[in-house]
Structure 1
Amino acid sequence: MSIVCLRGDTALNEQDLLAHLAAMLRLENIAVLLGAGASVVAGGMTMMRLWKDFILHHHETALRFANENFIAKEDTVIANFESANPRELPNIEGLLDKLEMSQIDWSRRKPASRNLKIFKTDIGLLLKYVVKAAILDQNAWEKAPAFDRLPYHVKLLQRLVGARQPGQASPWIFTTNYDLAVEWAAESVGIHTHTGFVGIHNRTFSPQSFDLGYRNINAKGEARFGCNDVYLAKLHGSLTWESADGEYRELAASEAWPNLSDIVNGKKAVDESLMVFPRAAKYLQTVGFLSGELFRRFSDFLARPQSCIILTGYSFGDEHINRLLRSALLNPTLQIVAFLPEFSGTEAEQLKKLKPEVRRLIALKSPRLTFVGNGENAYFNNMVEFLPDPMLYDLKEQEFRDKIKILSGDINAK
């Protein structure tokens, strides 16, 4: 497969990239940041497709958002996102944030705005599309999918876990997605997932659980600390979280599905008491503790020595995450590898297609920043194939041991 790869100001070929990733996975700390693009292979939607579907089926709602200056008029025209130089998409979560704050303000007016009922309905429609984009596979909600239904997520987890050496920390998965792709993939192959929630029948959020891990009590020495688990931080919330009476609970998929099914089928509006969406207007009341703790864990990881984070499916559209990544570059031992399909080179015309944040990072020419692109070759499924299989490590180590034996024999012969 043909890729375009830049590490600092040095171009890498495919073999160089494979070697670089093999070294990165052996660092003391490894993590992956999954954006919306990582769920497309599992049936999810990109932000582009979500927004196109929304303005196609609810154009009047989009126009009302534009008339109230929540979005630009140009954001209501599908053709503007299909041209050679498409517009940058509205930030869906930022838009929801503005809409909710305005809803609170309008509801305080005396008399209340006559448009408030329509406004609430419009917000509900947009939330419904966010939910639909994260459902992935409706059948999986009542019966968890087998490992072959999420092959690339399974392979990602297996290769991350397989690269860990005895005594090294378990890998982290940070994601902006609401879906259950990571949880389902891990369960299908027996990898335990630490989500921050503990309990069997009543799973409540306890951030201290992120400081715990598994070990094999029957093994001896360092082998006791072999890895068979991952830490999962869902930075933007989850379809299976709920907030009630000051507690945050994680529901089983089958328990959450009846409510989600009614939303998807249009039988009811999104009930945010049964789902946690991260928005500033509700920060203190609902997700201040939960979301704040997850972002603290994200920031803590980026500050660890000898660490690498791989970005895939993430388009640098979330400024709060971009700020943390920029700040993390002060950590002199942190490596960032970003798979970005729109990256095609460093010529002026090629750079124009990238977000300002990406151009800023490329301009740093830091050898701790690696960008991999060239269209679909940098998609999530292809990124996973670049990660070394644990068997390859075993073969290389065996070759190394054989060479040592040969050298030792030569020395003894002399």
Structure 2
Amino acid sequence: MPVEIPPPAPPPPIPPPAPLPDTHKGHQAYLPPGANNWLPLTVEACALLRVDEAEPESLVRSSRAALTDMFSSALQVPNLGFFAGSGTSLGEAGGPSMWKLWQDAMCQPGTNTLTHRAEEVADAVRYAERDNPNIEHFLSQCDAYLAFNDDAAVSSFVSEVKALILTLCSRFIALPTSDISAYRDLLQKLARRRVRDPRLKVFTTNYDTCFETAASELGMVAIDGFSYTRKRRFDGRHFSYDIVRREADSHEFAEGIFQLLKLHGSVSWSRDGSEIYEDSAPTATNACLIYPAKGKYQQAFLQPHLELLSRFLEFLRQPNSCLVVAGFGFNDDHLSEPIYSALQSNPSLKLILCDYQCIHHVHNRGLFGSSSYWGKFHDLAKRGFDVHFLNGSFSDLTSQIPHLRTASPAEQLANAVKRIGR
């Protein structure tokens, strides 16, 4: 007679994060242990620090003073980079969130209920998550299913979802409600750095054209790897080119030039065989971008993404570098791990992390949707690595970035004396 084996016991529930320490008085008591460089940019952000009602304003003022000092030195390094994640396109810019992509692609209008067709495809690929669905996980499941099944219905649905993603990520910037002033502020301020230094490098995982539009409105030039011919074609060699102003027998580098590296592609790129061209209206099938899916890691090693990724890795290894990260959740391991590794091997690398839920992510340390890399960076900060955490939105950050310009020797001495006095 066979012995009946009982089913395994369910795993214990994940406990909620422990409350932040608040048993002592003073600002440090409200911070996670060892993180003495938390900089809340707004009064609302102070709520995550458990600050008493009488203290938020003073804490924000002191944080902004410390932020000014930090930026005055950090942003003057020769190699300056800005990394923009999907969070920079949310809010005022009006870009779609992952949840909106799921609702528009999978659900009946105005509801969270899947359409009949979406339900059939989800059942076919065995995607059963309904409480916390994710469009990236769903497309990953579809890709895995199609790798072993020739299913025309699933393939057609996936193509339609990708076309919708392309549309949502390209059209929002033309809406009257879209506000990209934070992008303009960022470029306008950082463009005034010394022209003899390497150009500002802007890395982004976003498909949209917010940076290109902001640069156009400011009359700035983005070196994005494409040729300057009528039909612009991608070639990594163009990142080595620059713009020089020539007058008579003299020449000097033009101001307001920056490099733009779109690591996951763009809604304005199309693929024609092995060539990549700028295209104002690519289709879902020929668009050159990495759609949300777990296969992003593998696709990042195809051209032109490999060229862009290699230049990102090269930047992280440069001495005297500063990388400012905003709106990035560190959920892409092929980008998060190089930053974490470079911080340990490059002693002169400065890392500034800005997110409105920054303290929440660090405190959860990989739980409740937060990446474990937040906790890893926090551990490095406690060990003395040059890591700073800013609790605020993208627009909060850009409003606090000073205008970069070459300071005179007298100004440099005065700023140094002020820092020593504080």
**Which TM-score applies when normalising by structure 1?**
0.73
**For 1:3-60, what per-residue CA distance to the aligned partner results, in whole angstroms no more than 9, with x for missing partners?**
x999973235221122112222111011111111111222212223333444433714
Gaps of at least 5 residues in structure 1 are: 81-88, 108-115, 260-269, 405-414
Moved more, 223-232 or 54-63: 54-63
- Give the whole-Å Cα distance in 2 for the aligned partners of 1:47 and 1:285: 20
- Give the whole-Å Cα distance in 2 for the aligned partners of 1:24 and 1:272: 42
Higher RCO structure (Cα 8 Å, ≥6 apart): 1
Task: Please tell me the residue identity of whatever aligns with 2:285.
Answer: E
- Give the whole-Å Cα distance in 1 for the aligned partners of 2:394 and 2:300: 32
- Give the whole-Å Cα distance in 2 for the aligned partners of 1:280 and 1:351: 18
Residues 129 and 185 of structure 1: CA distance in aligned 2, closer, same or farther (over 3 Å): same
Aligned-pair identity in percent equals 23
- SS state of the match for residue 323, structure 2? strand
- Give the whole-Å Cα distance in 2 for the aligned partners of 1:56 and 1:402: 60
1:161 counterpart = 2:211: no
Q: How is 1:83-122 mapped onto 2 (pairs within 5 angstroms)? A: 90=134, 92=136, 95-107=138-150, 116-122=151-157
1:209 counterpart = 2:238: yes
Residue 218 of structure 1, CA deviation:
3.0
Decide whether the 8 Å contact of 1:35 with 1:176 is kept in 2: yes
Task: Please tell me the residue identity of whatever aligns with 1:167.
Answer: R
Alignment partner for residue 11 of structure 1, among 33, 37, 61? 37
Write 1 or 2 for the structure with the bigger share of helix.
1
Give the superposed CA RMSD.
3.7
Residue 372 of structure 1, CA deviation:
1.3
- Give the whole-Å Cα distance in 2 for the aligned partners of 1:37 and 1:20: 23
- SS state of the match for residue 172, structure 1? strand
1:372 counterpart = 2:393: no
1:46 counterpart = 2:94: no
Residue 351 of structure 1, CA deviation:
8.2
Residues 14 and 131 of structure 1: CA distance in aligned 2, closer, same or farther (over 3 Å): same
Task: Please tell me the residue identity of whatever aligns with 1:187.
Answer: S
Task: Please tell me the residue identity of whatever aligns with 1:103.
Answer: L
Residue 398 of structure 1, CA deviation:
8.9
- SS state of the match for residue 123, structure 1? helix
Gaps of at least 5 residues in structure 2 are: 1-26, 39-62, 416-422
- SS state of the match for residue 37, structure 2? strand
- Give the whole-Å Cα distance in 2 for the aligned partners of 1:21 and 1:211: 27
What's 1:235 paired with? 263
- Give the whole-Å Cα distance in 1 for the aligned partners of 2:362 and 2:87: 25
Residues 348 and 192 of structure 1: CA distance in aligned 2, closer, same or farther (over 3 Å): closer
Moved more, 351-360 or 381-390: 351-360
- Give the whole-Å Cα distance in 2 for the aligned partners of 1:8 and 1:91: 36
- SS state of the match for residue 169, structure 1? coil
Residue 236 of structure 1, CA deviation:
0.7
- Give the whole-Å Cα distance in 2 for the aligned partners of 1:210 and 1:7: 42
Decide whether the 8 Å contact of 2:95 with 2:173 is kept in 1: no
**Which TM-score applies when normalising by structure 2?**
0.72
Residues 8 and 322 of structure 1: CA distance in aligned 2, closer, same or farther (over 3 Å): farther
